Amino acid sequence: MDLYLGELTPGEIAGRIIASYKKTNHLSREDFIHWLKEGGDDYRLIELRDKSLWTLRLGEKQERYIHIHPSRYSPLTIRVRAHTLKSAILYLILNNNEADIQDNLAFLNKIRKDYLNQPPLKSISQHSSFPELLSILKD
């Protein structure tokens, strides 16, 4: 998955995307579906003022039909695996928000085994984005 690390809040992101979408005069769900298909795919990309890219798709709910998520490899995002994110969140929670991973491979492997049913790592380098992700989440 891609995690947005920019300064815009979720409300600002949604507001800017909706404002941009309204300029296209495709306000109904049916118009939105048609607009998506005009692009040749079932999604469209929108760039915001911070240069981040966002993917718009058709959402499942009738009344909230615009589904928004960061685009793959968009500026101001990082790509992480779900288990890496879960491991990092649990690591910080169970390690009193301490992000130092250097001597805690055994602790990380215990989390992976006990909570996530994942195999142990031989080294942190197998989980190369883990230290960076810990630092981001801690802030």
- pLDDT string in tens for the chain (139-residue length): 899 999 999 999 999 888 877 776 667 888 888 888 887 888 989 999 999 999 999 988 888 888 999 999 899 998 888 888 898 899 888 877 665 666 678 888 898 899 999 998 888 765 667 778 888 888 7
The verdict on 31 and 64 lying in the same domain is: yes
The verdict on 86 and 131 lying in the same domain is: yes
**Parent domain of 34:** 2-76
pLDDT at 128: 67
Which pTM was predicted? 0.75
Token pair for 45: 């990309």
Domain final residue, candidates 22, 50, 76:
76
The tally of CA atoms less than 13 A away on the side-chain side of residue 93 is 8
pLDDT at 103: 63
The whole-angstrom separation of Cα 95 and Cα 58 is 40
Question: What are the strands, taking DSSP E only, across the chain?
Answer: 2-4, 43-47, 53-58, 66-70, 77-79
Number of domains in the chain: 2
The verdict on 71 and 123 lying in the same domain is: no
Helix (H, G, I), strand (E, B) or coil at 72: coil
pLDDT at 136: 85
The verdict on 37 and 61 lying in the same domain is: yes
The verdict on 92 and 114 lying in the same domain is: yes
